[in-house]
Chain A
Amino acid sequence: MSGHDTELEGKLANNILYFGRVLRAAGLPVGPGKVIEAIRAVEAVGLRNKDDFYWGLHSVFVNRQDQHEVFNQAFHIVWRKPNILAQVLGTEMPGMAPPEDAEQANRRVSEAVNNERGDEGDDDREKEQEIELDASLTYSNQEVLQKIDFETMSIEEMAQAKEIIARMRLPITAVRTRRYASDPRGPRIDMRRSFRAGLRYGGSLIPLRRRAQQLRRPPLVVLCDISGSMSNYSRMFLHFVHAITNDQDRVHTFLFGTRLTNVTRYLRNKDVDIALAKVRDAVNDWSGGTRIGHTLGEFNRVWSRRVLGQGALVLLVSDGLDRDAGVGLAAEIERLHKSSRRLIWLNPLLRYRDFEAKSSGIKVIIRHIDDFRPVHSLENLSELAEALAGEWTNSFDITSYVPEEAAAFAAELEGTA
């Protein structure tokens, strides 16, 4: 092997190493072993054909279908010059031009490329990242128009909120089902297995085998408000829902603003970026007004029988600020409450310490819920998980939120005294 070849190979190896780091920053599980494999693969397929090169790398770096899109975009950003192969062998990566088409590309990939160039000055932002999501979401981004670009989650925001939220789970207390499974301490006798075991003793002895009812988490239905007043919270909450959806079965998610959208299928996608991009495409009423009564009515009519049939737990994420001022809301929220195992209202307005139910929508909803919780910080989310994992108690006290109820309660106390 000549010296020239070694030099070329060195550059090739460096560029593939760089590409591997971009992929890793974009969330693909790429370790040093993968990079070595990739170099071997490229050596094997040769550098004559761009497609061979692409698929050679693809075969090494991508091992799940949902990684394909990230790889594809990263590939075209990193090696986007017309003569890719010359570039692979030519210049080294720090001198590469910044990707001009980053707007169209996956935000995560282009940020990963930029970060790899080492122009980082985001330490300040990281410091700002407190538990309060309120503060964390004040990053400066352009397209906060009618249709919020969900993809514009920056790397920083992802690295922190996503890391924490992605690891969050919602271990809802399991309830008993009518299905039995063998259990040595179970209360019922499993005749079939007892007899089978008895054969071993020629029928002279039948050892009892037991069984018990199986436990299973009830299904979860999330109804999330995506109106303008909610956008910061519903966005973070969707990350949370994505984590739960991929952790347990029977999670159904609906978004509502002026109309209702079922986004369950999109959220099942393992990659949170792709999932949220699809959600964004599916929903037309981002950051508009809210018609809670109308959309809940639609949910009750079209979906409740399909998703609440098995005793579902319902999370209603909304600030209760209703454009229709609570018209038609009472009947719908009552029906929703009656057809769910437990209805929990998550309201970001609870971030204000002396929150009182004043708007008409809130006053109506608060009468038909089982629990009332804040949802404005990561801490709230973990508290919610804890509350649902334990024994369910009715700790919710309406008098602390509705002044009229408090007055009525006080009057009643006086009357009995």
Chain B
Amino acid sequence: MTHALPESIDATVELLRAGNYVADRSLATTLFLAMKLGRPLFLEGEAGVGKTEIANVLSQTLGRRLERLQCYEGLDVSSAVYEWNYAAQMIEIRMAEAEGVHDRERLGSDIFSERFLIKRPLLRALELDGGNAPVLLIDELDRTDEPFEAFLLEILADFQITIPEIGTTKAETPPIVIITSNRTREIHDALKRRCYYHWVDFPDAARERAILAVRVPGAGERLGNELVAFVQELRKVDLFKVPGVAETIDWAEALMQLNAMALDPSVVDDTLGVLLKYQDDIAKVRGSEAAEILKKVNAELAEAN
């Protein structure tokens, strides 16, 4: 079941909401513009704030195919765009030999035909899916190197790919492109310039509670409120890596498995590894600091009630 693209920012918020994604208005605005004007959306932010999730949700709620390209160092054309099926080509050549075909032209067009072409995400993203362009997710672009970025520039400019032996493939309708980066290096301005940029920040308490209510409905209101207040407070501590939304959700699930109805210092200490992923950070927070935050959180919550 495919849906048309949203016609307004409100509709975009609704669309994401339907896919269990609680977006703030600034993100919805950028996303709306990107879809409306057919430009890629460049999402940057800390790990675990829901950058990749946006593409998943879009593909789901719009009913479009998701083409995902996970970037890594040394990513090249043969794993990003297309590759030939060499084994099959080899057999074809042998067969031709056995049949006594010596027409080079024919052989050339035979073994370099679409039959032997293995399509990779970027090439597949140019193909329509039931009349609709797919969602192309280029994930963690910062992991690859600059040459690939330069290559990507070319594709994002006119959405066409040339295979020397076959010809040029051009997208009838450009795909919805979502690019994410964790900023392990800076992406070149030339690429950023062609995209709508959005820095995905940690959510505020209200939005984080809403996210938790949607994603972990069984957690209950009291635990949810305590948990979010605790994480929000923890993000103010000077840590090497502060927990993201993904960690909050993980933590809520972990606490549910432990049948915890409310936070107490021992539960927090035992499950801190779900929230914090650096030993220094854990050592810093565990014990007195955690207890202090908890005390503060409980006082605030009691006051609010």
Contact = CB atoms under 8 A, between A and B. Distances in A.
B56 to A, nearest CB: 25
Nearest to A204: B97
B89 A179 contact: no
Contacts of A331: 280
Contact of A305 (B93, B112, B184): B184
A195 B146 CA distance: 28
A192 B145 contact: no
A307 to B, nearest CB: 7
Contact of A199 (B107, B183, B184, B280): B107
B38 interface: no
A131 interface: no
Interface in B255-284: 280
A306 B182 CA distance: 9
B108 interface: yes
B185 interface: yes
Contacts of B247: none
B240 A300 contact: yes
Contact of A310 (B89, B108, B185): B185
Interface SS, A side? helix
Contact of B142 (A177, A198, A249, A309): A309
Contacts of A202: 102-104, 107
Contacts of A200: 104
Contacts of A335: 280
B84 A192 contact: yes
B282 to A, nearest CB: 14
B74 A177 contact: yes
Interface residues of B, number: 33
Contacts of B83: 192
Interface residues of A, number: 25
A272 to B, nearest CB: 23
Interface string A171-189: 0000001111000000000
Nearest to A180: B76
Contacts of A191: 84, 86
Interface in B76-95: 76, 78, 83-84, 86, 89, 93
Nearest to A179: B74
List the 7 closest pairs (A to B, CB-CB), nearest first: A178-B74, A309-B184, A203-B93, A202-B104, A179-B74, A191-B86, A178-B73
26 contacts: A177-B74, A178-B74, A179-B73, A180-B74, A191-B86, A192-B78, A192-B84, A196-B165, A198-B93, A199-B108, A199-B112, A200-B104, A202-B102, A202-B107, A203-B93, A203-B97, A203-B104, A203-B111, A206-B93, A249-B146, A300-B240, A301-B238, A306-B183, A307-B185, A310-B185, A331-B280
Interface of B: 72-74, 76, 78, 83-84, 86, 89, 93, 96-97, 102-104, 107-108, 111-112, 142, 145-147, 164-165, 182-186, 238, 240, 280
Interface of A: 177-180, 191-192, 195-196, 198-200, 202-204, 206, 249, 300-301, 305-307, 309-310, 331, 335
Given A202-B104, A309-B142, 10 more contacts: A177-B74, A179-B73, A179-B145, A180-B76, A195-B89, A196-B165, A202-B103, A203-B107, A206-B93, A310-B185
